Each structure stands twice: as structure tokens, then as C-alpha cells.
């Protein structure tokens, strides 16, 4: 009996007891859990998902062709036949908004993707190698940031010519310094970590260190900034379209729709109201989702 008591393991209090096999939770799963708890972030994700589905299934959802004109139906008020009314050429506004979601999301995501690729590459090189390389790249960023973003975009499109593709290029260019400086500051802190020093000590190539160690540890701020930048890019694309420097007629781009309808804001306010609401809701969705990602991925925001 004494021997059995001696071999019996001690009983720990409930607060100190731990399961025998405790599964480790990855940082991304933990971030997703935190993101799901943020109700506003879920609202933003729902709005963005809604417009993405509109863009994907526009051909199936839209009741009419986006360029189908009928002057007899000019500036009709919203009705059962035309839920959002018609514009000055008799085109169905709902249809054009549905197809416009495809264009706005395409411009926003592609321009931000280009900015991330170019800006991240320059920022990583500047932060990792330093010295004159850092000085040259940083001065390029300073020059681009010296101009107001919309004026720089107008200048780029004016040189390249007004078109949706050139508007995309202009928006990508003006956002390069944002991601470049973000990655540069991140690299300056990460490259001083012990595992980077160890990687250099064993003779690991710089390219491998950058791609396999520094870049993966810099993804969180890129994801957050990229999500917020899509919202800004959509506004900038709409502004260029409003000025006639972006999408050209009859392309159903929301900013172009606002520009074409501004003369009818009193007689047919629905021609301006619904494209403006589409822009506002899309930008709101990306901003709410970006704020939620920031709270989920930034350790300083966690309790």
C-alpha cells in the first residue's frame, strides 16, 4: 500500500492541469478567430464579398446589356422594370452598376498588387543592403510622395493618355512609396534578429534570406495596408473616371457614370445617387475589413 501511494502521481489543481496533447494554434488561425469576433470587420467582409460576387456573375445577374441604349426610356425614374432607373441614353443603371463592380474591383486589386510587388521589392532591397542603395531608393520615394497623389495620377495619365489601363498604371505608381517605406522599416528591424544573423553565419544567400525569412515575417502589415489601399485605389479610379482620364464611354465605370450624370443631378438624381452609393459601400467594406485585419494581425492591438 505504501509503495502504491508513493508511485501515484500528484494531483494538480484544475487551473494548473493541462491536456496531455495540446494542439498548437497557428498565428493565421488565431488571427482568423480574432477577425471573426470583430462584428464590423465581418460586415466589411460581407460587403466586399457581395460586390465580388456581383463582379463574377455579372453576365448572369444583370437584367440588360450594359451598353444597350433606348432614347425613349431616357432618364426614367426607378420602377419595377428598371429598379435603379435609366440614364440619359436609356441604359439601365442597375446593369451598369453591376458591370461597374467588375471594373472597379479589377482596377483596385490589380493596381494595388502592382504597387505591392514593386514597392516591396524596392523596400526590401533598400532596408537590407542600406548605404547608397538605401539612399537612392529612399530619395525616389520622397520625390513621389512630394506630389499629392491625385495630381501625380493625373500627370501620369496625361502623359500616357486617358484610358482605363493607363489609370491603373498611374494608381499603381502613386502607391509604390507607401509599400516601399513600409517594407523598408520592417526590414530594418527584422534583419537585426538573431535568426537572420545565424542564417548569414552559415553562408545562406541573401536572396534566400530575403524570400524565406524576411518577407514571410513582413506579410502581416502588407496584407493590412493592401486591403486599405484597395479602397483608396477605387476612389482614385473613380476620380480619374470623373475627370475623363480613366475609363472611356461606354465602359460602365462608376466614376465615369457620375461624370456623365452630373448635368442631371436635379432632374434625375437617381443617375448620380446609385453609382455614388456603390462607390461608398465598396470603399466602406474594404476599410472595415482592413481595420479588422489590422486588429487581428497586430499583436499590439490584442488584449
Average pLDDT (114-133) is 88
Residue 35: all three cell numbers together: 477577425
Helix (H) or strand (E) holding 208: helix 206-209
Reported as a pLDDT band with limits 50, 70 and 90, residue 131 is confident
- The residues spanned by each domain of the chain are 56-66+84-301
76 neighbors 85 (Cβ within 8 angstroms): yes
In whole angstroms, what is the distance from residue 95 CA to residue 136 CA?
48
pLDDT at 23 over 70: no
Average pLDDT (181-207) is 78
In whole angstroms, what is the distance from residue 98 CA to residue 94 CA?
6
Average pLDDT (240-260) is 85
Contacts 24+ apart (CB under 8 A), 253-261: 253/100, 253/103, 253/104, 253/164, 254/97, 254/100, 254/103, 254/104, 254/278, 254/279, 255/279, 257/87, 257/93, 257/96, 257/97, 257/100, 260/87, 260/88, 261/87, 261/88
User: What is the predicted pLDDT for the residue at 28?
Assistant: 67
In whole angstroms, what is the distance from residue 172 CA to residue 115 CA?
5
Core vs surface per residue 84-103: b (16+ CB within 10 A) or e = bbbbbbbbbbbbbbbbbbbb
- pLDDT tens per residue across span 52-80: 999 999 889 988 888 888 888 888 889 88
Facing residues of 92 across strands?
86
In whole angstroms, what is the distance from residue 83 CA to residue 96 CA?
12
CATH of 56-66+84-301, one of 1.10.3720.10, 1.10.10.60, 3.40.50.720, 1.20.1630.10: 1.10.3720.10
CB proximity list for 173: less than 8 A, separation 6 or greater: 115, 144, 152, 153, 156
Task: State CA 139 to chain mean position distance.
Answer: 26
User: Residues of the chain with pLDDT > 90: what percent?
Assistant: 23
298 neighbors 220 (Cβ within 8 angstroms): yes
Amino acid at each position: 500500500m505504501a509503495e502504491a501511494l508513493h508511485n501515484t502521481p500528484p494531483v494538480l489543481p484544475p487551473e494548473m492541469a493541462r491536456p496531455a496533447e495540446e494542439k498548437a494554434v497557428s498565428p493565421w488561425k488565431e488571427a482568423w478567430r480574432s477577425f471573426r469576433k470583430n462584428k464590423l470587420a465581418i460586415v466589411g467582409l460581407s460587403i466586399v464579398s457581395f460586390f465580388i460576387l456581383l463582379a463574377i456573375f455579372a453576365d448572369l445577374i444583370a437584367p440588360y446589356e450594359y451598353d444597350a441604349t433606348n432614347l425613349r426610356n431616357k432618364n426614367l425614374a426607378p420602377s419595377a422594370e428598371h429598379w435603379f432607373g435609366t440614364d440619359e441614353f436609356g441604359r439601365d443603371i442597375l446593369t451598369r452598376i453591376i458591370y461597374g463592380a467588375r471594373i472597379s474591383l479589377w482596377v483596385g486589386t490589380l493596381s494595388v498588387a502592382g504597387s505591392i510587388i514593386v514597392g516591396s521589392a524596392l523596400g526590401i532591397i533598400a532596408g537590407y543592403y542600406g548605404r547608397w542603395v538605401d539612399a537612392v531608393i529612399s530619395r525616389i520615394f520622397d520625390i513621389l510622395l512630394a506630389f499629392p497623389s491625385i495630381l501625380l495620377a493625373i500627370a501620369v495619365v496625361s502623359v500616357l493618355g486617358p484610358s482605363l489601363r493607363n489609370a491603373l498604371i498611374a494608381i499603381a505608381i502613386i502607391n509604390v512609396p507607401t509599400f516601399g517605406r513600409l517594407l523598408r522599416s520592417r526590414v530594418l528591424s527584422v534583419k537585426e534578429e538573431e535568426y537572420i544573423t545565424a542564417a548569414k553565419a552559415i553562408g545562406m544567400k541573401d536572396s534566400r534570406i530575403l524570400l524565406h525569412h524576411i518577407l514571410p515575417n513582413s506579410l502581416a502589415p502588407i496584407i493590412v495596408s493592401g486591403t486599405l489601399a484597395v479602397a483608396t485605389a477605387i476612389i482614385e479610379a473613380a476620380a480619374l473616371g470623373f475627370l475623363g482620364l480613366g475609363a472611356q464611354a461606354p465602359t460602365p465605370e462608376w466614376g465615369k457614370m457620375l461624370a456623365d450624370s452630373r448635368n442631371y443631378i436635379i432632374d434625375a438624381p437617381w443617375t448620380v445617387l446609385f453609382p455614388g452609393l456603390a462607390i461608398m459601400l465598396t470603399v466602406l467594406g474594404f476599410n472595415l475589413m482592413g481595420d479588422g485585419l489590422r486588429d487581428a494581425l497586430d499583436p499590439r492591438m490584442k488584449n
